């Protein structure tokens, strides 16, 4: 049996935050980070709560890649405050932390009379799609662990483009490439379906059209809205279809060398597409045909499967170049000798990553090592 899970309720558009005026709540826990408080972005929530006379507490010490100690602090705070609504306002790390804390409390709570709080996710980057996914990425030592459970899904997602207008170009590029990677990997996943394909195709079209506009002019709210919606649709696609080895390799690279998640995907994506398509060989895999279909939808040359795959590879490279992204891992400040030394550890992590089993082509350690080495060099001379 196949299934496609649709949750949460999604509020989108320029006035999406208006839903907060109608939200039934008596005590709210606002999960966020210190930058959100410092730059006043939390006020879009706290002002409404003040006006409505709703008491609230702010948990603002969530940092990038939340670790176990952070989650334990969040569990203690949430358990002591007993909120009926949890609002997570921030990037993927903030939403993932709130998910993990709500989930862990539900699993460990002795007092079973307490209800799970209503969970509202308000993303402030267009990237992870965490507001609509049943995944939470947490860090244990140097390894990123992916929790997967339908109960991690928020109840309401609010997509307010005004909240992403101030995202700087570098982060716009990184997170936007993450959106593209989610769509590409869901599209060729072993668990892809008509439903996830429809979403992924729309996402790929919107990213190529609107991401450069967002990068050039962050205040372009029409383009920001398109990318914010694309990020959410990509999340809906991959929470159902799962992902592939670009993410497996990026999780390990990010865990060991702290390369931001979206940038890590951007560095690895083209080489994985070429490998999945068997571009150096027959270029006649099911994944290759689907990549060529995307090239056709993007109105790129795609008379044959090989030409379509080549067009998509060129388009990915051009998108990276347009946003002045690093070509290879070596351009991100990672030390060459340390990269080689830690390669086997990263390959082992990537092999056991939860995204690996749904990749269309089954990798072994040699294949993943080769992909890391290609991504290290950036291979602009490869000439797709």
Residues within the interface to Zn ion (CB under 5 A)? 178
- Find out whether the peptide bond into 174 is cis, omega within 30 degrees of 0: no
The encoded tokens of residue 247 equal 């993410």
Taking the C-alpha atoms of residue 54 and residue 145, their distance in angstroms, rounded to an integer, is 35
Residue 138's beta-bridge partner residues? 145
For 228-276, the DSSP string reads HHHHHHHHHHHHHH---HHHHHHHHHHHHH---HHHHHHHHHHHHHHHH
Of 174 and 197, nearer to Zn ion (C-beta) is: 174
Of 10 and 266, nearer to Zn ion (C-beta) is: 266
Phi, psi of 87 (to 5 degrees): -110, 120
CB of 150 to Zn ion, least distance (A): 19
Taking the C-alpha atoms of residue 365 and residue 355, their distance in angstroms, rounded to an integer, is 15
Of 46 and 239, nearer to Zn ion (C-beta) is: 239
Q: At what angle do helices 305-322 and 286-297 cross, to 10 degrees?
A: 60
CB of 245 to Zn ion, least distance (A): 12
CB of 80 to Zn ion, least distance (A): 33
CB of 234 to Zn ion, least distance (A): 9
Of 174 and 178, nearer to Zn ion (C-beta) is: 178
Residue 61's beta-bridge partner residues? 33
Of 96 and 178, nearer to Zn ion (C-beta) is: 178
CB of 29 to Zn ion, least distance (A): 26
Of 28 and 253, nearer to Zn ion (C-beta) is: 253
Taking the C-alpha atoms of residue 58 and residue 349, their distance in angstroms, rounded to an integer, is 35
CB of 180 to Zn ion, least distance (A): 10
Minimal CB distance residue for Zn ion: 178
Instruction: Burial-class residue 22 by CB neighbours within 10 Å (0-12, 13-18, 19+).
Output: exposed
CB of 287 to Zn ion, least distance (A): 18
CB-based contact 237:189 (threshold 8 Å): no
Phi, psi of 120 (to 5 degrees): -110, 125
Of 86 and 250, nearer to Zn ion (C-beta) is: 250
């Amino acid at each position: 049996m196949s299934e496609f899970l649709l949750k949460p309720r999604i509020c989108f558009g320029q006035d999406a935050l208006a839903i907060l005026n109608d939200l039934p709540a008596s005590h709210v826990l606002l999960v966020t980070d210190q930058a959100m408080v410092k730059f006043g972005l939390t006020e879009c929530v706290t002002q409404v709560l003040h006006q409505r006379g709703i008491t609230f507490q702010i948990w603002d010490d969530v940092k990038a890649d939340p670790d176990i100690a952070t989650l334990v602090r969040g569990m203690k705070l949430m358990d002591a405050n007993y909120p009926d609504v949890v609002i997570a306002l921030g990037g993927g790390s903030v939403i993932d932390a709130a998910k993990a804390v709500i989930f862990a409390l539900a699993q460990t709570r002795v007092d079973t009379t307490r209800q799970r709080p209503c969970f509202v996710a308000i993303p402030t980057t267009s990237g992870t799609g965490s507001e609509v996914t049943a995944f939470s990425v947490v860090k244990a030592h140097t390894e990123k662990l992916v929790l997967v459970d339908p109960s991690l899904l928020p109840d309401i997602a609010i997509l307010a483009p005004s909240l992403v207008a101030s995202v700087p170009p570098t982060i716009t590029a990184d997170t936007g490439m993450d959106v593209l990677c989610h769509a590409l990997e869901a599209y060729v996943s072993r668990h892809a379906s008509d439903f996830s394909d429809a979403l992924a195709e729309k996402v790929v079209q919107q990213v190529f059209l609107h991401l450069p506009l967002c990068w050039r002019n962050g205040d372009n709210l029409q383009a920001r809205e398109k990318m914010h919606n694309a990020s959410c649709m990509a999340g809906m696609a991959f929470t159902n279809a799962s992902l592939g080895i670009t993410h497996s390799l990026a999780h390990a690279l990010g865990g060991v060398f702290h390369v931001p998640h979206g940038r890590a995907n951007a560095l690895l994506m083209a080489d994985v597409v070429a490998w999945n398509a068997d571009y150096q060989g027959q270029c006649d895999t099911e994944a290759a045909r689907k990549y060529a279909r995307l090239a056709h939808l993007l109105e790129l040359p795609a008379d044959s499967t090989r030409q379509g795959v080549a067009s998509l590879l060129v388009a990915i490279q051009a998108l990276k170049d347009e946003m002045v992204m690093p070509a290879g891992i070596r351009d991100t400040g990672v030390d060459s000798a340390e990269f080689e030394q830690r390669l086997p550890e990263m390959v082992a992590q990537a092999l056991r990553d939860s995204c690996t089993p749904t990749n269309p082509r089954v990798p072994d350690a040699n294949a993943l090592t080769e992909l890391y080495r290609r991504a290290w060099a950036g291979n602009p001379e490869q000439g797709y």
